[in-house]
Structure 1
Amino acid sequence: MSRVLGRLFSRRAASIIKLDRPPLFSKVPPWWARWTYALIACDLFVTASAVEFTWNNWTQLTDDLKTISQKSKEGTVAVQQPPNDSYVPRPSWQRAGLCVAHLGVGIGIAVALIVTQSRYVRTFTLSPALLRAKTSKNPSQTPSQDRQVLISCASNFKNNGQSFSLASCSVGEGRDASEMILRVDGERGHWFLSLENSLINGKKASIMDAQRAILEEWGTARRTGTWTPLAAADRRWVSGPAARKQGRS
């Protein structure tokens, strides 16, 4: 279990991404990715409160019927008084079990937030390998195998990020044409690129233009899955070449 968690949360050495131009792709993360740590703090507070309340206040009702003997001239008469409601803590194993369930849910939510934040791409660009580019006589002709994929996620601060060899990366289509997925050989999980309302080379672009620009820059490197034609990403086209290409006119 510890090995699995270690691989899940292991991070490569952070790279300082410094570019003399805007990144190929950039996007402001959604609110939950920007406020992940505040959400985790709230989650831990609610979890701790639930555990404390369960352990100290989870009780059960006991019915205690008191029989009062009353003497009378006819003899002894048994009179039942209304039940005296009282509460006692439930058995320890029941309270402990529910506390463990609270902890499991709370920790699960915190882990899901951290993992999702660390996989949501904020900036994405491709660059020649730095060492090869500096020593090569023609840096612009650096082979595609030596190019680097530079990403910065919602969990990274400022210009910190990660770099991977382009040869070890592949891109695939996400749940629809507005998403792209980056996978890296030897790395657990994958990274999300949400193309909606994104910036391409520092300029606002449509989903279709963003996908086209990224794929053109990606070139002949590995792709996975069946790609939705670019025009399908923008349903505003009801006529013209883009629509005819999709058979909608």
Structure 2
Amino acid sequence: RRLWREDVVDWEGRFRTPLQGFTSTPRPLDGVAPFVWHGSIRSPEIAEQAAYYGDGFFHNNIFWPMGHTRRMIELYRNRYAHYGHGTPEQAIVGLGGQVFMRRNSQDAVREFRPYFDNAPVYGHGPSLEEFTEQTPLTVGSPQQVIERTLSFREYAGDYQRQLFLMDHAGLPLKTVLEQLDLLGEEVVPVLRAEFAKNRPAGVPDAPTHRSLLAAKDAKDTQDANGAEGAKEESTV
């Protein structure tokens, strides 16, 4: 965090050699450090770290049951508020997701099952049906993916970022590209509209470079006006 925000850094820690007069390059665009996401599957310490800094918390949300995801996000939201960054609802949350789509749901299940059964991570374990029921994995039509993804708010609350794992289980490149076409053409536009339509007014958007730059410019203007006001008062 200091390397992004300070031009020259002296630092000494436990796990690497010290830094003396070090400048990291390239420097952040427009002098604005990027927004930080802390990602985790099962470690509550990561949720705590994200909350401490007021950063975003991204939960993998792929291999574990939804109840685990709920507990992790509730921990992050509550600790975010505890550290004074805002209300729990204002915390910045991202979720993962894992999908396989065909226009017909039966075709999706039939085509994906051999890849699922032999996948390095979950192959030769629970059946496709069991894994789909117990985790956020969705195999079906684009409409089913939309409905399942929108249901994540039932245990995660309103959140800001949704990522999808598309290149998994040994799928060939041609199939992955077809999945991306379905995602971009039929799923993402609907999800964006639905999430925006139903989002409460108090839930913020995730920070972007543009919003961070605007906040920086506003603060710089405020500081400059404050300094000018202090100067005039001193002169009087």
How does the TM-score come out when normalised to structure 1? 0.22
How does the TM-score come out when normalised to structure 2? 0.23
User: Which structure ranks higher in relative contact order (CA pairs < 8 Å, sequence separation ≥ 6)?
Assistant: 1
More helix by share: 2
